[in-house]
């Protein structure tokens, strides 16, 4: 039995080839991918592999994530899909008045860096929750590879080093940053050994206590103390109160397949809206890399973002529901706004009427895991808790201080979130676990790669390698330098205001993909890993 009709001859200039196997892990650092594979070879399942890889990623790609990250997951347990929202909540001290008093009436958001940008991190909580509900191996076993990497060190790879060096001038004065990430007074060089023994200490405490040391114990006490000493307000009680939330993924059908995303407070619904709009066009009739095809996708994505930025927040704070935003009749009305000859700047409709790591793992028993983990912007808040190696995210910066915004800050609330794992099914059966990292590029990456696979029969690695565009705001887009010049000109002729970008690391995201080929114990899977990062897919 096969589950695809890919053209295996299609492709773009790349250093990567598809990887086949019955047990697969794909992420943006080879050492982390191998950490996950070790769990599979030890008798663990895809959840065990994902947790091991995620823990290792906090050490080997600290620019993008750390022990103070948030995370989300969609997994197929062999029978059904489950979603996990492990985004952090605001400390109890956080109100509009708190920030206005500290930063002035003109402040529009909490600060970008420092302790006042840090919500309670959820990633460690997600590891524990996933292991307790779906894991096979003892939780402590899953953190062994990360502990070993942190203690012995690793050679810093090319792409990570570039971003590390770029962050140092911005963050070197923030509490704990230089001590943790500038061991010689600078960023490590490519190939230079970096050790992180204090993070190994925290990982051991987390392993021994199954996360209790982090959420209310020794680690939480150290974080709260460091916050007090450096102008923050997060408390041990804030950590102790944290629990990740199991959720039901939302979905939209396109071309006989269903794309599933985590529901708000995240932006995954943007990819569903865009696909729902594209369903009203015959995209496959347009040439794959033509200006016409790219223009149509860009305009659908713009329409999606217009609604997402206007309405999406914590579900209890939204004026509309996800169901209303995904209503077929409403999306049909939005599709009619697209002009195939002209780029437009769309406003939000009225649906009432109608820097991040990603990894994926799959095993021969049929379990598939789509997992994403992030500090938000490079190195997050820039704050690192001394002696424990906690590099804290800055997700609080995504809150609004506008009292009328659905995303306005309040105690215990979760902010609008950019990180989104994805999952594809067909007729209720699992097909692909995948994700693309990179701020608002994530739903755009989901859309572009999925269209290439479903409409144009490109295999996952080819869809991953293909040049991408990125919508920013208004009529502004970026395109990768590898995009066909005729396509670039065709987009310019339609009024798109473009900048060609050579740096693909952050501007165009990076993805990992695992596609089920049939019976996982027989045909197995095919995996792809993005050449825009240092990673790889590994399998046996």
In whole angstroms, what is the distance from residue 308 CA to residue 325 CA?
A: 9
Rounded to the nearest 5 percent, the helix, strand and coil shares of the chain are 35, 20, 45
Is 3 designated active site? no
Residue pair 271/420 in contact by the 8 Å Cβ criterion: yes
> Cβ atoms within 10 A of the Cβ of 493, count?
13
Q: What is the DSSP letter of 511?
A: E
Catalytic residue among 119, 235, 356, 360: 356
In whole angstroms, what is the distance from residue 534 CA to residue 375 CA?
A: 18
In whole angstroms, what is the distance from residue 49 CA to residue 24 CA?
A: 9
CA neighbor of 310 nearest in space, from 296, 297, 324, 299: 324
Instruction: Kindly give the residue spans of alpha helices, DSSP state H, lying in 72-143.
Output: 96-103, 123-134, 139-142
Q: What three-state secondary structure class fits 74? A: strand
Backbone CA torsion sign across 15, 18, 20, 24: positive
In whole angstroms, what is the distance from residue 343 CA to residue 296 CA?
A: 9
Chain position carrying tokens 């959420």: 215
Q: Which residues make Cβ contacts (< 8 Å) with residue 104, sequence separation at least 6?
A: none
Residue pair 52/231 in contact by the 8 Å Cβ criterion: no
Please compute, for residue 188, the number of CA atoms within 13 A of its CA located in the half-sphere on the CB side.
24
297 φ/ψ angles, rounded to the nearest 5 degrees: -65, -40
Backbone CA torsion sign across 314, 410, 118, 144: negative
Burial of 35 (0-12, 13-18, 19+ CB in 10 A): buried
Cα→Cα distances 306→249, 273, 478, Å: 22, 11, 18
Q: What is the DSSP letter of 470?
A: E
Residue pair 376/506 in contact by the 8 Å Cβ criterion: no
Instruction: Please identify every residue annotated as catalytic.
Output: 356
């Amino acid at each position: 039995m096969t589950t695809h009709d890919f053209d295996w001859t299609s492709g773009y200039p790349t250093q990567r080839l598809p990887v086949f196997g019955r047990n697969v892990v794909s992420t943006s650092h080879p050492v982390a991918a191998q950490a996950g594979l070790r769990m599979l070879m030890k008798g663990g399942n895809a959840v065990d592999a994902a947790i091991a890889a995620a823990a290792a990623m906090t050490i080997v790609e600290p620019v993008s994530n750390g022990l103070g990250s948030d995370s989300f997951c969609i997994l197929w347990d062999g029978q059904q899909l489950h979603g996990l929202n492990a985004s952090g909540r605001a400390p109890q001290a956080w109100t509009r008045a708190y920030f206005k008093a500290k930063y002035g009436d003109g402040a529009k958001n909490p600060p970008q860096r420092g302790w006042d940008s840090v919500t309670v991190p959820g990633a460690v909580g997600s590891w524990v929750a996933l292991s307790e509900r779906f894991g096979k191996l003892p939780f402590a076993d899953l953190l062994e590879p990360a502990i070993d990497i942190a203690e012995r060190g690793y050679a810093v790879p090319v792409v990570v080093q570039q971003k590390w060096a770029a962050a140092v001038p911005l963050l070197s004065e923030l509490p704990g940053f230089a001590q943790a990430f500038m061991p010689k007074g600078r960023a490590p060089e490519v190939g230079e050994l970096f050790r992180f023994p204090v993070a190994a200490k925290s990982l051991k405490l987390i392993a021994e206590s199954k996360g209790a040391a982090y959420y209310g114990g020794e680690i939480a006490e150290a974080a709260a103390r460091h916050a007090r000493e450096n102008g923050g307000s997060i408390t041990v009680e804030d950590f102790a109160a944290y629990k990740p939330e199991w959720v039901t993924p939302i979905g939209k059908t396109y071309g006989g397949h269903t794309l599933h995303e985590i529901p708000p407070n995240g932006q995954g619904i943007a990819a569903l809206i865009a696909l729902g709009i594209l369903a009203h066009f015959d995209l496959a009739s347009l040439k794959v890399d033509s200006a016409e095809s790219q223009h149509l996708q860009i305009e659908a994505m713009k329409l999606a973002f217009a609604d997402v930025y206007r309405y999406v927040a914590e579900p209890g704070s939204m004026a509309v529901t996800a169901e209303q935003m995904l209503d077929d009749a409403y999306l049909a009305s939005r599709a009619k706004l697209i002009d195939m000859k002209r780029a437009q700047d769309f406003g939000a409709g009225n649906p009432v009427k109608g820097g991040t790591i990603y990894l994926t793992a799959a095993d021969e028993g049929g379990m598939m895991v789509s997992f994403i983990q992030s500090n938000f912007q490079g190195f997050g808040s820039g704050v690192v808790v001394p002696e424990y190696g906690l590099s804290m995210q800055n997700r609080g910066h995504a809150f609004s201080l506008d009292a009328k915004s659905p995303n306005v800050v309040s105690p215990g609330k979760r902010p609008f979130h950019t990180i989104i794992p994805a999952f594809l099914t067909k007729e209720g059966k699992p097909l692909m676990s995948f994700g693309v990292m990179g701020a608002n590029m994530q739903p755009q990456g989901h859309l572009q790669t999925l269209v290439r696979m479903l409409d144009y029969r490109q295999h996952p690695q080819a869809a991953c390698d293909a040049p991408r565009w990125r919508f920013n705001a208004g009529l502004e887009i970026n395109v990768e330098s590898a995009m066909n010049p005729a396509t670039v000109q065709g987009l310019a002729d339609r009024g798109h205001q473009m900048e060609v970008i050579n740096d693909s690391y952050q501007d165009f995201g990076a993805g990992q993909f695992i596609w089920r080929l049939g019976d996982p114990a027989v045909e197995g899977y095919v995996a792809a890993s993005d050449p825009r990062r240092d990673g790889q897919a590994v399998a046996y």
